[in-house]
Amino acid sequence: MANYLFKGLCHVGIMTDNAEESVKWYCEKLGFRPWYAGKMGPMPLTFVEGYGLVIEFIAAGKMAPGGPIAHIALEVINIEDAVADLRAKGVNVPDPGCAPDFFPSGMKNVFFTGPNGETLEYVEYAK
C-alpha cells in the first residue's frame, strides 16, 4: 500500500506572453479571482482560482514551441513516497525540489514526463 495520498488536481500551467491580460480575461470572462503572484527564480508566475481549479500563468515571452499548456500539476501528501512509487514503476523522476519561500506556507515539487511527452508535476504544500 502506498504511503502517499493524491489530493487531486493542483493546477494547470499555461504559457503566456502577457500574464496581466490573461488574468484579466479569466477573471472578467470566466469569473476566476486573482490568487497569488510571485517569481520562481527569474520566471514570473501568476495564479487565478475559481470553481475548485487553479490556473498558473507562466510569463514566457514568446509562446513555447510545445504549445500553451506547460504542465498539469497534481497535489499529493508525502511527495517523497509518491516519487518512490513512481520510480518503483519505472518512471524516471528527479528528487523533489523545495521552494520554501515561493508560497507563503512553502512547497515541495517535482516535474516528470508522461508517456506522450507531457510534463506532469507533483506538488506538496507545507502546512
Closest CA to 122 of 36, 43, 3, 11: 11
The pLDDT of residue 69 is 78
> What are the domain boundaries of the chain?
5-125
Per-chain mean pLDDT for the chain: 83
Contact 72, 61 (CB under 8 A): no
Task: Output the pLDDT for position 65.
Answer: 52
Q: How far apart are CA 122 and CA 64, in angstroms?
A: 21
Question: 42-85, pLDDT tens digit by residue?
Answer: 888 999 998 788 988 888 766 555 567 778 888 889 999 999 98
**Does the structure show a pLDDT above 90 at 35?**
yes
Q: How confident is the model at residue 16 (pLDDT cuts 50, 70, 90)?
A: confident
User: Please, what CATH class does the domain formed by 5-125 belong to?
Assistant: alpha beta
Nearest residue to 43 via CA among 70, 65, 66, 25:
70
Other C-beta atoms within 10 Å of 30: how many?
11
